[in-house]
Structure 1
């Protein structure tokens, strides 16, 4: 919801005075930054919801083969990849535990490029080998999460997410029925023509988007650098970090430091016997004293059990179930599952798809409504006289700056620039504003 919500005579019927106009101005300025990112993130995130279906279509020629009676040892399948591409580091093997499915091997090739290879487990043929970062959905994920700009892009995405939350809060305040605008009118689908229709479309879409998009924004924050890093610090200090065995930590090694390593296929058999849900991802021991790590890659978080298996005896040295995580870690994990459309099946995908569509409509309608109302040659910044904020508003702004630190820093920087430079140049100010 942008500045296009109210203008002209309508403003006098709906505004709540100087505070309303001040909120409107900051909503407008936040939207100038947020809406282009919202359109991009909504499109890329909406497409990424369908990653399994898209990859099944893109890579149909490498996912399934005609099954035979027996499969080759996994070591032989790895050797086929070694012969075809060279392996400087074996990262992991995924078994789908289904007849006719290929084996997926992730590795660093002879040139050190992280790659994925699909092997016919019956004939030992390497069907395809692709650098991971060149795969379509991986590129899309990087575009969604970091704008293909690495750490710098990640900060921009996080900043956009912070300000998007502010935009929705201020937009909700502007949408809230007041004056002659009743609740019935506020929730009514858009009507009218031209600028009125775009303005009402933006308002109506913003109302729905607030409900559907804000939870997606919040559940995406744990992935971010600043906010997510701060959350990780708090978790560490309060004993609420994940107990996952995936990245080491207090993971036991094998009981011996030499001997004959069990076949890779036996590790998958152990995972099956332990009741893990397929598919299985396994990482081999890093050295003679380390152990196998294997887990379920089920989309259902509660099924993502991990095992540490002795590489010589096959004994399960440690088991980690989802329920073993502290409550905060479990909540964050389930939030990420919701963000990716995996928490409650097709309904979650449908809900997030609608949210993505609303995000695009919100961005487009906000831009068009602004463009149609702005004076020629001007940004059309809403008129907003300096207003003394009440205690409640000051508390709200302070809390938001603490909870969204990157937004807080950028707000302080923007206020400093406005006071030192923009006011003197007349930037981002309505005509006649002081």
Structure 2
């Protein structure tokens, strides 16, 4: 099964490891070049994040899509900010203008501080209950061919029928992020792709099992596909890759005050940075506490340096080493790899040149081998089935 690569674009340069340079919050030229760099690098999609202080990511997706031909857009969306029928029409309309290149990434919200900036005062469990109902209404809006009514705990509506259904049928792909039991429960029910942050292989396998169990409990016969996020740090040799990794760590620590401001403005960790309330960040910090290096190439000090703030664990090494590490995750059931760098623009180009082709080629080789194996045993199975008293 082909692996999906997802990157991330923003409207101005910068990362936790660099000082933000003065400039417009929305740099149209940079946004256009950033999107095109990912398209040229053979990414399937790019994520566009969401926070209470960031630019409107739906408009960013529309702008970037107008300047690319193939690249898909994964638009982060927080339930509760707008009414679900309105959100459904937003994304259906965007799906038309992008010719079916849009997916929605549901982020229920792990920080009470960040949620309240947009006027949301529900606690975490209530937010997940609301997300469950929200997605029920959104999906029905995308698929209904006759007026419907809904009378739930959080949303009430009568005789709604959208005049714009998505290009993609039966609905836009739904990605879902979270690491708590509530996230597994809701995402296991609704997600097409369940997104995790980059933890060691054993812990990731445990989370995949939890997602699959939640999907089965919700009555699904096919579980969500799994996405895992990393920050690859590449070098032409192992030594140079590790030298670069330690430079990035040093600059991140030096800029930790600026990084905290970045989180506060754009990612919503704010005052929670040193004691994150969301389970995903707690898990990253727990992995970092166990040791700096895990498995083949997973490096955790950067996650610790920024307080477990989001996708922050690195995979360090040559392209061959990092490709092998990514394939280790494919081997345990991961189908989507979200990769972005600490030097976001240049790293996206390097991933396209040196990393993505290695992973795609190996996955394709494995798929060809599996197809050949199936073809080889098919005549034997058919003969057994045709034999008297035989069965396939």
TM-score, structure 1 as length reference: 0.23
Larger radius of gyration: 1
Q: Judging by fraction of residues, say which structure has more helix.
A: 1
TM-score, structure 2 as length reference: 0.25
